[in-house]
Amino acid sequence: MQSQQAYAVEMQSIYKYFDDFCALNAVNLKVKKGSIHALLGENGAGKTTLMNVLYGLYKADSGRILINGEQVEMKNPNVAIEHKIGMVHQHFKLVENFTVVQNIMLGKEVSKAGFVLDISRARKQVVELSKTYGLTVDPDAKIEDISVGMQQRVEILKALYRGVEILILDEPTAVLTPQEINELVNIMRNLTEGGKTIIIITHKLKEIKKSSEYCTIIRRGKYIDTVDVKNVTEQQLASMMVGREVNLVVAKTKTNPGDVVFRIDNLTVEDSRKIERVKELSLSVRKGEIVGIAGIDGNGQKELVEAITCLTKVKAGRISINGVDLQNTSPHNVIKNGITTIHEDRHKRGLVLDFPVKYNLILENYNRPRFAGHAILHEQAIHKFAQDSISRYDIRPENCASELARALSGGNQQKVIIARELSDNPELLLAFQPTRGLDVGAIEFIHSALIKHRDSGHSILLISFELDEIMNVSDRICVLYDGRIVAEFQQGEVDENGIGLLMAGGERKNGI
Amino acid sequence: MGSKIAELLNKTATKIILAIVLGFIAGALALAVAGYDPGTSYSMMFTSIFSSPQNMIQVLILTMPNILTGLSVAFAFKTGLFNIGGEGQYIVGAIAAVMVGGVLNLPPVINVIVIVLVAFVAAGLYGALAGFLKAKFGIHEVITTIMLNWIALYLNNYLVSLPGIGVKNTEYSFPIKQSAWTNVLNGWKTSPHGQAYLSTHPALSTILLGTDINYGIIIAIVVAIAVSFLLYRTTFGYQIRAVGLNKDAAEAAGIRVKKSIVMTMFIAGGLSGLAGALQMTGTLPHALVTLANQPGYGFNGITVALMANSSPIGCIFTALLLSALQFGGSTIQMNLGAPSEVVNIMIGVIVFFVAVASMFTMISERIKRRRVKIAG
Ligand SMILES: Nc1ncnc2c1ncn2[C@@H]1O[C@H](COP(=O)(O)OP(=O)(O)OP(=O)(O)O)[C@@H](O)[C@H]1O
Ligand SMILES: [Mg+2]
């Protein structure tokens, strides 16, 4: 009884089925009060599902949940909130045109005289909370005007405002810049010092080492182990999670790139508010080369990608592949000329969530003779192709061809997109945050797929906010800052610190 | 895989049937509150339809345009467009059919085919206009189609008032030539031989001569199957469904979203126009009439599509249901004095429960969960 008291959360032998599919198979989780506890597992392992069960969003088919030693039936999130559990979802749930304070008090409004909103009181509480835990935000800024990292703070504040003692963070760092991640780790420390308990889902082993005391590993819905983070290495964590040895850095040979295939000359692009986001940018990619663009989110990456894919108009400059101008034509034309794209926002640009997986796998090619003749879809060929892609790219569950893309876990959705974009052997693959939200096993796989694509004589333009990814995969590295390429290096000419400095707007210098 | 699809369809169908049952219950309550015996009223609605072959045929005749306008709305829905323009497209289809059918004199079957195709294209272009305004200028299709409905109505009335088109001192235009009528045994029943035969066969005579029995319903059913095929088996259907489900992803994948929108509205308009054309070729007076109000089939189409959850095949059944209810509703009003608005209540409740069909999913989940718990 006494030892039980020390646990803020105990989940015992949790089962959860989706139809016949067993997403959680006797999973256990014990979280010590006042600790930061990481939850690690491959894409589709069941992490989000487990947390949704804890938060009352899904009901377990069997198993017990104890909060502070007391058994609780988590019928719905209201029960969870009563027990002071809060959850920050991977996709934030904020009202875009409300201010920070308005968002935080939404659903728990304080009022004067019974019906007049008492915003100033709420505002005071919010300011106090953010001071206590170092969660600096502008309480009066509108959500649409603040960065993703700030939005996340708002979500955390929202939970704290409701008096949360146990905080669940589902992949909080997938959308953050390295600096923001460090700040988040500090905030988490402040919270546990204040007696709160934190469960964090993340794929980034480095962060687990940095932030957490304990780590529970689940694999394909089964409980594997709970370890003391001090006593394990990143490599050990990775192999426990995947069930085999994982190369955190994919081996690759040096290339001898050929002629320039793709080039951008003096490109200028404005965003929807007519602010220049890309400024006279020039770069080129050669045959058989991976060019990585390092940079912090918001320095023009999004506009650059939209300009290349013709989803937005270019103000000035040229974009060309094999000498053919592409700027201001159509997405269709870009694809026809051999450029395919992995977009950053997979739910918006990447997938038709309410289409089955197999239809998503042919989104750009449904018209090809392979999949259709006389305007009629060849269902069998499509299905076979899907089966093929699913096993080649290890998309799970393996019988998902006819399932809606919506039912896949985030990481597996990403694999569907990658499978599709590489299926046609594009001359240039434009990869924007290709491994966002993927587990280390999957990242290893994607990185080797990229390198294989390069080795077969094709080119890749990789845009990523993950400096590690840029460093590991690229043959040539460009640093993007404020809409310009401020420096360019060959692989091996520079280390992470040097690039990190340039990314943050440090002294402009030329590596070549 | 087939069984899986069947299972899915089954589920949706069950939900819709449940919604219909709830609609009937709500209708019964409304009748009871209004002081009429629900049992008597419902049985009268039911028996009135089956009391005579004429009535049954009458319901089927009503069903034809409802299926087609229902398909029109359902089809546009798949691209995420709300086609309220069924009324106007229906009228344009009717106008085109009469204009062409009044002058054309081709061999019988070809004649009808040409008339129907011209009407389809005319109404299709009318629908495509709304699609174009949406794609090019972002003007919402609900607004444009409502305005186009009124433009079509006044165009119709204007044409009927013109000397060359309207028949003097009547509210009718000249009719479609009889060779283009789609009535059953159209030529034979007016021939001397046919007339002689029918005079000795009164039952057949009441059907053939006493109603506008025509091939429209068969064509409508075939078209529903064709639309279903188009949506689910062809690249075009794939494309427009992708646009309807996620425009941004479709655009990024190189699908021409604007073209899809215009094409979808063309077909949606054509389907409603087909209803108008077949109505002209199939029912008296085979001519345009001065309209005081919208004909109502376009709005019926919205109800039909909503009840069918936008399934083209489903539209066949929900159009039949709607037509039967409307027919039955008028008989209880006539015979019992019960308000025919009861029918509108029933239809409203059905639409409502189809729309919140996810509620049934929740209930089924709960039942499943309970079962697992007992088993575990
Ligand atoms: N609503 C649902 N219906 C059907 N299957 C589901 C549903 N939600 C999750 N699943 C399945 O359950 C499994 C676990 O999904 P979950 O989202 O918990 O994974 P995860 O560990 O969070 O993965 P990721 O790191 O990719 O986010 C997946 O195989 C997924 O396809
Ligand atoms: Mg997840």
Q: How far is the CA of A201 from the centre of ligand 2 (A)?
A: 8
Say if residue A374 is exposed, middle or buried (CB neighbours under 10 Å; 0-12, 13-18, 19+): exposed
CB within 8 Å of B347: residues ≥ 6 apart: B23, B303, B307, B322, B325
Residue that is written with structure tokens 């509620």 in the block: B359
**Whole-number average pLDDT of chain A:** 89
pLDDT digits (tens, 9 = 90+) for A361-386: 999 999 999 999 999 999 999 999 99
Quote the CA–CA distance of B358 and A406 in Å, as a whole number.
16
Quote the CA–CA distance of B35 and B20 in Å, as a whole number.
23
Please, are residues A469 and A381 in contact by the beta-carbon 8 Å criterion? no
pLDDT of residue B335: 85
Of A33-47, A127-141, A305-319, A414-428, the range with the lowest mean pLDDT is: A127-141
* Nearest residue to B240 via CA among B199, B268, B198: B268
Classify strands A316-321 and A214-219 as parallel, antiparallel or unpaired. Answer: unpaired
Query: ipTM of this model?
Result: 0.84
pLDDT of residue A115: 66
Residue nearest to atom 12 of ligand 1 (CA): A23
B254 to A330: CB separation less than 8 angstroms, yes or no: yes
Other beta carbons within 10 Å of A63 = 17
Residue that is written with structure tokens 């979802």 in the block: A89
> Long-range contacts made by residues B154-161, C-beta under 8 angstroms, separation at least 24?
B155/B91, B155/B92, B155/B95, B156/B91, B156/B94, B156/B95, B156/B288, B156/B290, B156/B291, B157/B290, B157/B291, B159/B95, B159/B288, B160/B288, B160/B289, B160/B290, B161/B290
Quote the CA–CA distance of A434 and A415 in Å, as a whole number.
9
* A30 — pLDDT class (breaks 50, 70, 90): very high
Most B-contacting residue of A363, A364, A374, A403 (CB-CB within 10 A), to test interface: A363
Domains recognised in chain A with CATH numbers: 2-242 (3.40.50.300), 252-338+426-512 (3.40.50.300), 353-424 (no CATH)
pLDDT of residue A110: 66
pLDDT of residue A221: 92
Q: State whether residue A380 sits within 8 Å of chain B by CB.
A: no
> Which pLDDT tens digits describe chain B residue by residue (376 residues)?
444 544 554 567 777 888 888 888 988 998 899 888 888 888 988 898 998 889 999 999 999 999 999 999 999 999 899 999 999 999 999 999 999 998 888 888 899 999 999 999 999 999 999 999 999 999 999 999 999 999 999 999 999 999 888 888 889 999 999 888 998 888 888 888 888 888 888 888 888 888 899 999 999 999 999 999 999 999 999 999 999 999 999 999 999 999 999 999 999 999 999 999 999 999 989 999 999 899 999 999 999 999 898 999 999 999 999 999 999 888 888 888 888 788 888 888 888 887 777 566 656 655 555 544 444 3
Query: pLDDT at residue A112 above 90?
Result: no
Q: What angle do CA A238, A241, A243 make, to 5 degrees?
A: 95
Strand partners, A32: A7
pLDDT of residue B2: 43
Phi-psi group of A506: left, alpha or beta (phi > 0 → left; psi -120 to 50 → alpha; rest → beta): beta
Q: Could you tell me the maximum CA-CA distance found in chain B, to the nearest angstrom?
A: 81
Quote the CA–CA distance of A372 and A377 in Å, as a whole number.
4
What is the 8-class DSSP label of residue A407? Answer: G
Quote the CA–CA distance of A505 and A321 in Å, as a whole number.
30
* A87 — pLDDT class (breaks 50, 70, 90): very high
Residues with CB under 6 A from ligand 1: A 18, 23, 41, 43-49, 396-397, 407-412
The mean per-residue pLDDT over the stretch A490-501 comes to 85
What is the 8-class DSSP label of residue A350? Answer: I
Most A-contacting residue of B235, B259, B361, B369 (CB-CB within 10 A), to test interface: B235
Please, are residues A121 and A193 in contact by the beta-carbon 8 Å criterion? no
Of A426-435, A458-467, B195-204, the range with the lowest mean pLDDT is: B195-204
> Which of A36-50, A195-209, A391-405, B217-231: highest mean pLDDT?
B217-231
Q: What angle do CA A168, A173, A175 make, to 5 degrees?
A: 120
Q: State whether residue A304 sits within 8 Å of chain B by CB.
A: no
Q: What angle do CA A10, A16, A20 make, to 5 degrees?
A: 165
Q: State whether residue A364 sits within 8 Å of chain B by CB.
A: yes
CA-nearest residue to A59 within chain B is B369
Fold of B35-338: ABC transporter involved in vitamin B12 uptake, BtuC (1.10.3470)
Query: Phi and psi dihedrals of A256, rounded to 5?
Result: -115, 85
What's B170-215 look like in SS3? CCEECCCCHHHCCECCCCHHHCHHHHHHHHHCHHHHHHHHHCCCEC
Q: State whether residue A402 sits within 8 Å of chain B by CB.
A: yes
